[in-house]
């Protein structure tokens, strides 16, 4: 029941596939059943230790458990061992050992993913990259910086504080930047600054056989290029299934002179979405435009001690010069008022603004607080803007019909939204209802020319839906790319693509 995104029949089939794979592995010894044993195990561990030291190879249950799960409901599948390399050469040497012994490799950043991306479904070796936490090259005049995988979004922005620059992509969690590249993350201000796809200039990667490559050539950082196949964007969003990201070169932006946030309540979802479309059409370079439905607003009010009207609501943020802000706000206010929106409630000072966005980022916890003791599952669909009102209205009806609690929050400027379904993990019947609901929601998005995942990635949960979304021919192309770059299926196996039919 935990594998969301699969209908019960296909879920069982996928389990059967896994079982058959496992049996084949045991019977043919193509791969060790879980990990090696006896002398071979000793030799592997000894090789790992010679590469990253005694402290860099951990086998304890607690450490393995901690590295086998993310923030989703997907079942924790701990790896057999966790290694902690310090540099790309160590990652490469470790990968070579894994390659020689055909051991799965699962990269681990901060474990803040939402689709089971770090779950070691076939066991293997988790590469925790937390010891690689250097900011290696900051070029202020060129608006770029290079970071290792242990550097998080907040750590980078703290480092940049006095430079007048920042890295705006903000998925909410304080994720590692290389992990964000791996899952093609985005978040609240993608409407203005783009997603990781638009903001990664170069990647250093270790491939399945330990080879080190640079997707745009070693040390290169042109702001644009048309030099050959776009390897950078092939690896951005590949969720560790094609290689381990060991460095990311990112675009930076000038910090806006001023920022101001506002909250606006609407009579209906349609009014809020119409306001969004018209604001974009008017060319307002809005930095964030976040939708919260009545259930979400009520949850945020309770959790963060706020008192916004319990109706569909937009949280807005404007970036620019003082003068430009006035104009952006005035244009947007005219638009929202013409769509029945209430007067803006302001958050101009940094403290009030941070409180507002903290409330938005705490939506997850606010949702959980609606039913203490429960867990949350965040759906993640994205549709063309014009289809948002219909899909949100239909989804709210679906939730009510199926007696589910699911506040809705969305990056409405991109047509991307999440339903944070709160569920009792000990109630299999409710889990089943949630599972069916999330499938219906994804299929509703697909029927409206959208995607089953706007920013969380495919991981374990959306492999079957990805097949429906892409069609069998495009999936074959994806499988061909995977087979080329990782012929033995060692890199984060079982993610993005369903196991091949036997």
Return the residues of window 309-328 that contact a copy of itself according to CB under 8 A: 319-321, 323-324, 327
Residue 240 interacting with a copy of itself (CB under 8 A): no
> 45 or 255: whose CB is closer to a copy of itself?
255
Which secondary structure element, helix H or strand E, spans residue 395, and what is its range? helix 388-401
Options 25, 130, 197, 440; binder of a copy of itself; rule CB under 8 A: 197
Return the residues of window 338-377 that contact a copy of itself according to CB under 8 A: none
Structure tokens at 327: 């104009």
Least Å distance, CB 398 to a copy of itself, is: 20
Least Å distance, CB 80 to a copy of itself, is: 27
Residue 112 interacting with a copy of itself (CB under 8 A): no
Secondary-structure percent of the chain, ordered helix, strand, coil, rounded to 5:
40, 20, 40
Rounded distance between C-alpha atoms, residue 379 and residue 404, angstroms:
13
> 33 or 219: whose CB is closer to a copy of itself?
219
Residue 42 interacting with a copy of itself (CB under 8 A): no
Options 169, 250, 378, 383; binder of a copy of itself; rule CB under 8 A: 383
Least Å distance, CB 32 to a copy of itself, is: 27
Buried b (16+ CB within 10 A) or exposed e, 310-349: ebbbbbbbbbbeeebbeebbebbbebbeebebbebbebee
Residue 79 interacting with a copy of itself (CB under 8 A): no
Least Å distance, CB 296 to a copy of itself, is: 21
C-alpha angle 83/3/186, rounded to 5°? 65
Return the residues of window 160-189 that contact a copy of itself according to CB under 8 A: 164-165, 183-186
Options 39, 471, 501, 502; binder of a copy of itself; rule CB under 8 A: 471
Which secondary structure element, helix H or strand E, spans residue 421, and what is its range? strand 416-423
C-alpha angle 27/32/37, rounded to 5°? 120
> 7 or 386: whose CB is closer to a copy of itself?
386
Which secondary structure element, helix H or strand E, spans residue 48, and what is its range? helix 38-52
**Locate tokens 């009792």: which residue?**
424
> 105 or 382: whose CB is closer to a copy of itself?
382
Conformation bin of residue 33: beta by default, left when phi > 0, alpha when psi is -120 to 50: alpha
Alpha-carbon dihedral of residues 181, 183, 184, 190, nearest 10 degrees?
-100
Structure tokens at 125: 């070796």
Residue 403 interacting with a copy of itself (CB under 8 A): no
Options 342, 481, 488, 498; binder of a copy of itself; rule CB under 8 A: 481
> 184 or 438: whose CB is closer to a copy of itself?
184
Interface pattern 447-466 for a copy of itself (x via CB under 8 A): --xxxxxxxxxx---x---x
Least Å distance, CB 341 to a copy of itself, is: 18
> 21 or 495: whose CB is closer to a copy of itself?
495
Rounded distance between C-alpha atoms, residue 146 and residue 219, angstroms:
9
Options 225, 268, 270, 301; binder of a copy of itself; rule CB under 8 A: 225
Residue 257 interacting with a copy of itself (CB under 8 A): yes
Q: 310 by DSSP, 3-state: which?
A: coil
Options 189, 195, 261, 265; binder of a copy of itself; rule CB under 8 A: 195
Rounded distance between C-alpha atoms, residue 169 and residue 167, angstroms:
6
Least Å distance, CB 1 to a copy of itself, is: 23
Q: How many residues bind a copy of itself (CB under 8 A)?
A: 99
Least Å distance, CB 197 to a copy of itself, is: 7
Least Å distance, CB 436 to a copy of itself, is: 21
DSSP 111: S
Q: 196 by DSSP, 3-state: which?
A: helix
Rounded distance between C-alpha atoms, residue 316 and residue 308, angstroms:
14
Q: With beta carbons less than 8 A apart as the criterion, state whether 136 and 148 touch.
A: yes
Options 97, 431, 485, 490; binder of a copy of itself; rule CB under 8 A: 485
Residue 138 interacting with a copy of itself (CB under 8 A): no
Least Å distance, CB 264 to a copy of itself, is: 20
Q: With beta carbons less than 8 A apart as the criterion, state whether 241 and 496 touch.
A: yes
Return the residues of window 261-290 that contact a copy of itself according to CB under 8 A: 277, 280-283, 285
């Amino acid at each position: 029941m935990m594998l969301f995104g699969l209908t019960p029949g296909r879920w069982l089939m996928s389990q059967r596939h896994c079982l058959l794979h496992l049996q084949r592995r045991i019977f043919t010894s193509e791969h060790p059943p879980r990990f090696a044993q006896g002398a071979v195990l000793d030799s592997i561990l000894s090789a790992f230790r010679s590469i990253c030291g005694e402290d860099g190879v951990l086998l304890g249950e607690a450490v393995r458990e901690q590295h086998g799960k993310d923030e989703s409901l997907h079942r924790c599948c701990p790896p057999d061992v966790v290694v902690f390399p310090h540099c790309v050469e160590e990652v490469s040497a470790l990968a070579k050992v894994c390659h020689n012994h055909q051991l799965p490799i699962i990269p681990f950043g901060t474990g803040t993913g939402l689709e089971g991306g770090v779950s070691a479904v076939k066991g293997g070796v988790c590469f925790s990259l937390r010891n690689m936490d250097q900011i290696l090259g900051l070029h202020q005049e060129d608006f770029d910086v290079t970071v290792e995988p242990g550097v998080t979004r907040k750590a980078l922005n703290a480092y940049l504080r006095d430079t007048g620059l920042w890295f705006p992509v903000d998925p909410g969690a304080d994720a590692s930047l290389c992990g964000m590249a791996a899952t093609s993350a985005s978040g609240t201000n993608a409407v203005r600054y783009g997603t990781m796809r638009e903001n990664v200039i170069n990647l250093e990667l270790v491939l399945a056989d330990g080879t080190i490559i640079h997707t745009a050539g070693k040390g290169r950082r042109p702001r644009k290029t048309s030099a050959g196949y776009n390897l950078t964007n092939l690896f951005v969003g590949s969720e560790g299934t094609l290689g381990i990201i060991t460095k990311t070169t990112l675009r930076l932006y000038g910090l806006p002179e001023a920022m101001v946030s506002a909250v606006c309540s609407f009579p209906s979802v349609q009014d809020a979405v119409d306001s969004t479309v018209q604001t974009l059409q008017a060319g307002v370079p809005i930095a964030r435009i976040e939708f919260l439905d009545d259930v979400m607003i009520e949850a945020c009010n309770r959790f963060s001690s706020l008192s916004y009207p319990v109706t569909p609501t937009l949280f807005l943020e404007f970036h620019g010069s003082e003068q430009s802000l006035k104009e952006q706000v005035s244009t947007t206010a005219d638009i929202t008022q013409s769509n029945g929106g209430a007067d803006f409630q302001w958050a101009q000072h940094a403290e009030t603004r941070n409180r507002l966005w903290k409330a938005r980022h705490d939506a997850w916890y606010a949702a959980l607080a609606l039913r203490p003791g429960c867990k949350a599952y965040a759906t993640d669909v994205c549709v063309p803007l014009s289809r948002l009102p219909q899909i949100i209205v239909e989804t709210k009806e679906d939730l009510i019909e199926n007696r589910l609690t699911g506040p809705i929050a969305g990056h409405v400027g991109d047509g991307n939204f999440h339903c944070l379904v709160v569920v009792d993990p000990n109630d299999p019947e409710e889990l089943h209802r949630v599972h069916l609901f999330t499938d219906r929601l994804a299929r509703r998005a697909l029927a409206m020319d959208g995607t089953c995942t706007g920013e969380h990635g495919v991981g374990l949960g959306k492999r079957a839906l990805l097949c429906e979304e892409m069609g069998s021919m495009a999936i074959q192309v994806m499988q061909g790319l995977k087979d080329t770059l990782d012929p033995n299926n060692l890199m984060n196996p079982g993610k993005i693509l369903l196991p091949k039919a036997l």
